[in-house]
Amino acid sequence: MKKWAIVENITIEKLVFWGKGFVRLEDWKVAFITGWAVPQAVVDIKITKKRKDYYEAQIVNVITKSPLETESYDLFPGAPWMNISYQEQLKIKQTQIEESMFHLKKYQEIINFLPIVPAPEQFGYRNKIEFSFGKYISHRDDIRQEFNVWFHKRGEFSKVEDYDECLLIDELQNEIYRELKQFCKDSWLPVYDQKMNHGFWRHFMMRRMHFSEDILIVLSVYPGFFESTENTDNFDEVESLEKIRVFLKSLAEKYTGIKSVYISHNANKADTLIWEMELVHWNGVITETLLGLTFDIWPKSFFQTNSRWAEVLYSLVKDFFLEYQKGEKIWTVLDLYAGTGTIGMIFSDVASDVVSVELVEEASKSGEQNAQKNGISNMSFVNAKVEEFLDDYLEQNKKADLLIIDPPRAGMHPSALPNILKFGTQQMIYVSCNPATLSRDLWYILENSDYRIEKVQAVDMFPHTHHIETVVSLVKKQS
């Protein structure tokens, strides 16, 4: 089948990783549909990419709506699965986890999958949102929108959509977003275009913590705009930036929960939110309290985006430990990929000593401060790559009794995998936000050691999206 070929009248079998639709084609290959897809819908698709074993495709026409679909997707910006009933979403996620580990049967015939923990709140649960500024220009659809602020169109990075709300954040966050968007639009400064490397407005990040209600804002702009030939209206840099500062300060006066506001001057083509940071308003660092512990959160710190359900996730990790170790105190816990050290702190009362390992310096530092703030004195914070830390730690012949592993989406670095096996701990607990890399890493562990999967449980921290958090307890076979 050629690129751009149209395949008609085909049924979407299921949703797989990252919410892609899955269909089987006549040539024995399969296609993954990016963009909108609901299982059991009958559609016509267009092949957009040809790979060795599969195709990528997009829907061009819906012939029969899926019986699972309750409403139209367009009604629910930011909540792409909203048109699938919540019970069905849970089923899809549970199946994805179980299917992703199917190949592990080669090493372990029976895996104990506990049912996914559903979310208590299905809306307004995100404490962090990142919107992009951009255009939506489509000659085919006759759309020309020069100033949009929202998420990228699914599967089309060059286009940014524009809605006045996102259902995954709360009403106050939406209100601030709308005010900020209006101000930026009224400035007549253009949005940044990464391909062309021109324009001004880049990103808008906001955190509003669930329990403390503290707010942090980072507005990212491209300073190079003022020197560019594109600045034909001769916007003055000093004057424009001053207006922005005045506006941001007035926003912080109006919404008293806003504690810190930064402008990130990103002169780089690469799209990182955090660059040269200018502090515009300061009423202290934002904090959040989870399971009785208080955490300071800085712009670069990783912090779970659903605070309420982070408590559930962390409690599950601890329960997996307590149930297996029967409440016994242990010596050393390694909290790998630790962020601000949240999980490590929760384990500090059952261990003599916790070592928290994290790549981002700011996160390690705030972890250290957070531990102090909470009166925890048996934790150390190592700012390093896990793969390098493990080499050094093992070389010094140091021991560990429990490993907590919570890597980013890419999973563990290949060189870290053999090293975690060298400790021979009775238990390892792996927390994952990506079933694909989780099952890849588990494959390595089962193939190369005498660990078995004791149990697996997913937590639905992100309703109406394809995201899944999974906790896996691995224990030594002989025990």
Ligand X SMILES: C[S@@+](CC[C@H](N)C(=O)[O-])C[C@H]1O[C@@H](n2cnc3c(N)ncnc32)[C@H](O)[C@@H]1O
Enzyme catalytic residues: 433
Q: Which is nearer to ligand X, 77 or 367 (CB)?
A: 367
Q: Which is nearer to ligand X, 252 or 359 (CB)?
A: 359
Q: How far is the CB of 406 from ligand X (least distance, A)?
A: 4
Q: How far is the CB of 313 from ligand X (least distance, A)?
A: 8
Q: Which is nearer to ligand X, 218 or 221 (CB)?
A: 218
d(C-alpha 221, C-alpha 266), whole Å: 6
Q: How far is the CB of 387 from ligand X (least distance, A)?
A: 6
Instruction: Answer for the pair 239, 187: CB distance below 8 angstroms, yes or no.
Output: no
User: Which of 451, 380, 367 lies closest to 417 in space, CA to CA?
Assistant: 451
| Element housing 324 (H / E) | helix 307-325
Checking phi first, is residue 204 left (phi over 0); if not, alpha (psi -120 to 50) or beta?
beta
d(C-alpha 470, C-alpha 458), whole Å: 4
Q: Which is nearer to ligand X, 248 or 345 (CB)?
A: 345
Query: How does strand 293-297 pair with strand 152-153?
Result: unpaired
Count other Cβ atoms within 10 Å, centred on residue 22. Answer: 17
| Element housing 177 (H / E) | helix 171-186
Q: How far is the CB of 278 from ligand X (least distance, A)?
A: 23
Q: Is 428 strand, coil or helix?
A: strand
d(C-alpha 452, C-alpha 239), whole Å: 63
Instruction: Answer for the pair 23, 11: CB distance below 8 angstroms, yes or no.
Output: yes
Residue, CB closest to ligand X: 339
Query: How does strand 427-432 pair with strand 469-476?
Result: antiparallel
Q: How far is the CB of 342 from ligand X (least distance, A)?
A: 4
User: Which of 42, 5, 36 lies closest to 23 in space, CA to CA?
Assistant: 42
Q: Which is nearer to ligand X, 280 or 386 (CB)?
A: 386
Query: What would the two tokens of residue 116 be?
Result: 């996914």
Q: How far is the CB of 53 from ligand X (least distance, A)?
A: 29
Q: Which is nearer to ligand X, 363 or 468 (CB)?
A: 363
Q: What is the DSSP letter of 189?
A: P
Instruction: Answer for the pair 258, 217: CB distance below 8 angstroms, yes or no.
Output: yes
Residues 6+ apart with CB under 8 A from 364: 338, 341, 356, 358, 381, 382, 383
Q: How far is the CB of 59 from ligand X (least distance, A)?
A: 32
Q: Which is nearer to ligand X, 339 or 435 (CB)?
A: 339
Residues that bind ligand X (CB under 6 A): 302-304, 337-339, 342-343, 357-360, 363, 385-387, 406-408, 413, 433
